Structure 1
Amino acid sequence: MISSAITRTEEAVRATDDIAPLAVPSLSVLDAPNDEGGRIVLTWTLSPSDKLLQGVIAGAIGPAAVESVVGVHGYSIYRSATGEDEFSLIAQVDAGVASFVDETALNGVHYTYQVRPYDLDNETGSDIEQTAMAVRNSVLDSEGRAIFGLFGADNRIGFDDFFIFADNFGLTAEDAGFDPAFDLAPSEAIDFDDFFVFADNFGRSIAAAGKRVPMLAGLNADARMYLDARTAMPNVGE
């Protein structure tokens, strides 16, 4: 009887999967709506390999010649910020999951994303890359009034926000790169209606962090604070 040599090992041994999962067919990346910024939502179409696949056992015959193999074990989320040359892994989700919220994005920064399916031995790269930025679209000024058009990283609507808005002007819902965050007068198009809303808000600022202390008659109306640094600073010649 002819038999192959036997190698004994104390650790579990499994076959190597030489077939990588198929890439995700589509990816959408948008600002998370109705928030205070810092969040970008990713949605994608599951890999066609994200299911139980039928694998043939080499040399086997009979009903047990075929076994089920998990095609995808999860998805890796990669991100690259403006000015960065390489993508960095920021998260992984399980098989069957088709969305992810990046809650570590900085406001006013463009991020490009990739979603790569993986199994136990392989990770499939992707030619699909989508870019978005986090926007503060639910913020108030010091008087509690809503502000629209704060796209940049600072707390005031200025020319930096205008240039960001201008980059998106003219896009419609049918265009790649359209983000409802810039559709200030919702119409599935970024047009002059949105520009007029932006113009009405130009120059406004969001409320500063912290608690506002009201001036109460009889308590702090005459309060004053003075700073005298003479005793803490050396005199000339000393």
Structure 2
Amino acid sequence: MQQLSFGFNRFYEVIRPKGGIVLATEVDRLCQFEFQEKYMIELAKMLMCCDRFASLPFEDKFSLYKNVRPIFQTLERHWSSVIYFGPSYDDWRLLHDDKTAIDFASLNLKFKNVDQEMFKKTVPLWIPIRDKNIKFLMSPMKTLQLTEYEIVFLLAHILWTVQDINGLSENAVRVSEETTEQIASELHNYYAYSMRISNYAPRLVKITRLIDAAKEIRHAKQDVWTIAKIFDMFRFEIVGSELTEL
């Protein structure tokens, strides 16, 4: 956890907003991919700060990275939005990148270089996803007010929960089990001695539920993109889509 915490500080210094944030009414996917490229590189650097991750063969590292990236990014974007915009339940702005945000309270968001009439047909598909973001991620995060250590814990928990990852070596599975035990011990010390919380189980349950919510939202987004592709509603040709998938 200490190594990931160190890596997170370096990571966040690069991807956090440096100036004012503009509320976007139109999403430029090409500009988004520029931020996404920076995000993926810095995330990889952060993970490499963890000796146990860095010591694994490339194939194992790549599998772990592909699993952790979309889930953690969803959580981190919501956490960063609460940090930047504050915990008001009347504010549903979400950081889109390091310069723009979108407002979940608005239904007027558009995609640049996309047939708008065709895109409007997909809006009813996106509304349930927006509602899930608000209900199961943003609202709980505003209530919980996660610390930086806790967001790093979520990263570590996602990274080393490997039951659903196919093709990992036996050594990677063994490392994940050993690391998970160490994380539990370090987290106990954090709550008991740093935060002075004796019964932290209820908070921990609420925090780990955020991971399930992020996974559910990811699957829902993938379903919408699949439907849009099947019915040729709009299309993006993405180089390296194995990594840039939602």
Length-normalised TM-score, structure 2: 0.23
Greater strand percent: which structure? 1
Larger RCO (alpha carbons 8 Å, 6+ apart): 2
Length-normalised TM-score, structure 1: 0.23
Larger-Rg structure: 1
